[in-house]
Structure 1
Amino acid sequence: MKRSLFAVLALLALLAGGVALYLIRSPAPAPDRFAQCRTDQTALGGSQIGGPFTLVSETGETVTDADIVTGPTLIYFGYTFCPDVCPLDNTRNAQAVYLLDERGYDVTPVFISIDPGRDTPELLAQFTEYMHPRMIGLTGTPEQVAAASRAYRTFYSVQDPEEEFYLIDHSTLSYLVFPEIGFVEHFKRDVTPADMADRIACFVDSL
């Protein structure tokens, strides 16, 4: 009986030693350089958000994420025929970028269409020019758009696709992305232009 107890205690000691050694050798998680800029800690799991994409620009050229994300970039997924949230959200994003322009921050707003059947490059060019002169409109094949949407974990679903003036349900987050780093933060619809500008400036200053 004593031998069995001794064996159990020895095994527990060995396991404890192994765990301690693992903890000592395991590198500590890197500190979040953007911690002071965040108001929503869910973005800390952003390593699974974002990634490579290949789309068609509003000028008709095939582009990749490396061509688009060359500096601080604000990405939104929507469609030009959207009757409500898309114009409002993109106007808010454009206003934030204008505020950042005044403060010397160069941020590129990007609009990725989830409606490749109707949103031609020409139509996207008209939409983005109205919003902000630096806003980039992107479309592509249905497969290319779906792949970009999956990369950013966005959602969209066409209502009554047989109807001429169909609507599309979709998510409405805006994504702040940096080259080489990737996704760093998302912004919900209730964020004001001023708050968005302040938070983006914080992220840029923390690079």
Structure 2
Amino acid sequence: MTGAVMNDLPFPKIRFLPLLLAAALTACSPGGDTAAQEAPPLQGAAIGGDFTLTDESGQTAQESDFAGDYRIVYFGYTFCPDVCPVDMQNLGRALRAFEADDAEAAGKLVPIFVSVDPGRDTPEVLAEYTANFHPRLIGMTGTREQLDAMVEAYGAWYEIEEDDGSGRYLVNHTNNATLFGPDGEPLAILPLQDSTETIVDTLRRWVR
């Protein structure tokens, strides 16, 4: 899953999962126009499940801690030069818009930023980073073994480029924001690269 690689790219490579295709195909599926008549795009997908990490306050965090909450899970790292901060800005903006639209539903959401770069992303670094985007965004990381287990279970991918000694290495990674339901079931990929309204529409559809 992980490994040191070298390339000449100025920025990290980002991969979108095949799950995005499933999300796109939903628009063509029969069943009506309301969420009550539709199946979530990721219904039945074999992703998600238990994890054990350390959160930005230095406490152990497990999947069971969020039972009953909707969760948004995003894998990235704080030293990401452009993709992660833009995605987090878009997510924070959408969450604030959703809160203004439906505070009760928004209150059921827990956004989680999982750093796959534990060598640099300490709890203190994560806390400072997440505070820039939304007050309820929680940063987490863990040991390499813990991260690899979660990345595999959640259908994500990453690889760390070789450090030349400067500590400025890049990490290539997927950048999907996956919405999970209160029982941990996968629901949909949030379209963070689209407009705020499009992201909010996705949240309205599946967060109840």
User: What is the TM-score with the length of structure 2 in the denominator?
Assistant: 0.75
Q: Which of 187, 194, 198 is residue 195 of structure 1 equivalent to? A: 198
State the shift of 1:96 in Å.
1.1
* Residue matched to 1:101: 99
Amino acid at match of 2:139: G
Post-superposition shift, 1:35? 5.7
Match of residue 176 from structure 1: 179
Among all aligned residue pairs of Structure 1 and Structure 2, give the percentage whose two residues are the same amino acid.
Answer: 35
Q: Does 1:50 align with 2:48?
A: yes
Q: Secondary structure at the match of 1:130?
A: coil
1:1-80 alignment to 2 at 5 Å? 36=38, 41=41, 43-46=42-45, 48-68=46-66, 70-80=68-78
Q: Deviations over 1:37-77 (max 9, x none)?
A: 86xx5x3452x111110000100001101113541211110
Offset at 1:94?
Answer: 1.1
Does the aligned pair in 2 maintain the 1:172–1:189 contact within 8 Å?
Answer: no
**Higher RCO, 1 vs 2 (CA within 8 Å, ≥6 residues apart):** 2
1:122 is matched with which residue?
Answer: 124
Are the equivalent residues in 1 in contact too, given 2:179–2:187 (CA < 8 A)? yes
What number of residue pairs does the alignment pair up? Answer: 171
Are the structure 2 counterparts of residues 90 and 69 from structure 1 closer, same or farther at C-alpha, using a change threshold of 3 Å?
farther
TM-score (ref. length: structure 1) = 0.76
Whichever of the two has the greater Rg, that structure is 1
Alignment-derived partner of residue 3 in structure 1: none
- For structure 1, which runs of at least 5 residues remain unmatched after alignment? 1-30
- Match in the other structure for 1:137: 139
Gaps of 5+ in 2: 1-30
Q: Which amino acid in the other structure matches residue 187 of structure 1?
A: L
User: In the superposition, relative to structure 1, how do residues 66 and 172 fare at CA in structure 2: closer, same or farther (>3 Å)?
Assistant: same
